Each structure stands twice: as C-alpha cells, then as structure tokens.
Amino acid sequence: MLAQAFPEAQITALEINEGALLDAQYNIKQSPFAHRIELLKQDFLSYKPSEAFDLIVSNPPYFSATGAIAPDGGRALARQEQSEGLNLVRLMNLSQAMLSRQDGSSLCLITPLDREMDLRLYACEAGLRSQSLCRVSSLPNKGVRLLSSWTHLELSSAYCRSDISELTLHKSDQTPSQAYADLLSPFLP
C-alpha cells in the first residue's frame, strides 16, 4: 500500500519472524511494485541503514511489558514488548536517529489506543513531537487503535498543533462507514 501511495518511493521492509517473512516475500512477488521493495530478515534493534529515511512505518509490539499478556505462540514476539527486545521506547529512540531532517519526515505507528500517553512521553524523551493522532474505533464509541505520526522536535521553530481526528470503521450494523470506504478506495479494484 505504501508503494502504491508513494509512486517514487524505494521501500525497505524489515521482518524478524520467519513465517511473516515468507508471507511478505510472497505478497511482494505478487505486487506490481516488487521492484521498489527490498525485504530484509532483520531485527530493527540491530539495523543500521546506509542513509536516513523520510518515512518509517511500524506496527510495533503493542502489549506493554507490564500490561496484558500476549497470546502464546509465535505471535507473542510481535505483540508483546520484551524487556530486552523491541518496545515503544527503543522504537522511538532508534527511529528518531534514522529519520531524515527533511521537512515532512515522520515515524508512523499503529498501536492500541490506550498507549497514547506512553507514546507522548516516549516521543518527548526521544526528541519527537506528534504531527497527527487518529483515534480509530471498530464500531461507534468502541475505540481500539491509535494511528500516530511523529517528527523531529525543533526547539527553534514555532509551536505546531497536532492534527487530531477520529475514524470509525463500521457503522452499528457492521457495514463499513463511508469514511473507511473512502480511505480504502484507492487500494481496491
């Protein structure tokens, strides 16, 4: 979807889980954008890019190390913060160092809605500020996710207000909301 949305982008994708890596390889090969996507079996914590990124997108481990317990099995690594592994603090600190200083460069995250305050704190500590926060509900009044965008905090620049919005995916009758349908329309036949 990123390759489709940004026709000039060269994309580097990192995946640590072998099963997810195989799925990603298959999906990329089926894509008309495969020539612009590099997939690496790589832990984000040890990744050293040769140049800075204008955009970093992540669906990081989202269960707090001290909160809910991730389900058993291979998915736990992707869902549960690890004391020695990837967590939101490390993700934000490493991403800040990997982001270019170009205007508009950003780190975009998909996290549970209840991690918003954690993200705000970690961003300040990493020298990042929020650009936008979208609180996503699966149904009306049932918030589940936060889509957030973070950029370098420039202390010499004027105050910039964060764009805060809400998106409800489905109406009460379980049919897609118009906003959700509009958002996905460029990606569907």
In this structure, the answer to whether residues 71 and 34 fall within a common structural domain is no
pLDDT at position 71: 55
In this structure, the answer to whether residues 178 and 143 fall within a common structural domain is yes
Domain housing 29: 1-42
In a domain, 113, yes or no: yes
In a domain, 98, yes or no: yes
Token pair 């603090």: residue: 89
For residue 98, give the CATH number of its domain.
3.40.50.150
pLDDT beyond 60 at 74 = no
pLDDT by residue (tens digit) across 6-52?
999 999 999 998 999 999 999 999 999 999 999 999 999 999 999 99
> Quick one: which of 113, 112, 16, 11 has its CA closest to 56?
11
In a domain, 48, yes or no: no
In this structure, the answer to whether residues 79 and 102 fall within a common structural domain is yes
pLDDT at position 63: 57
64 pLDDT tier (thresholds 50, 70, 90): low
Indicate the number of domains in the chain: 2
pLDDT beyond 70 at 65 = no
Token pair 């805060």: residue: 164
pLDDT by residue (tens digit) across 125-151?
999 999 999 999 999 999 999 999 999
pLDDT at position 82: 55
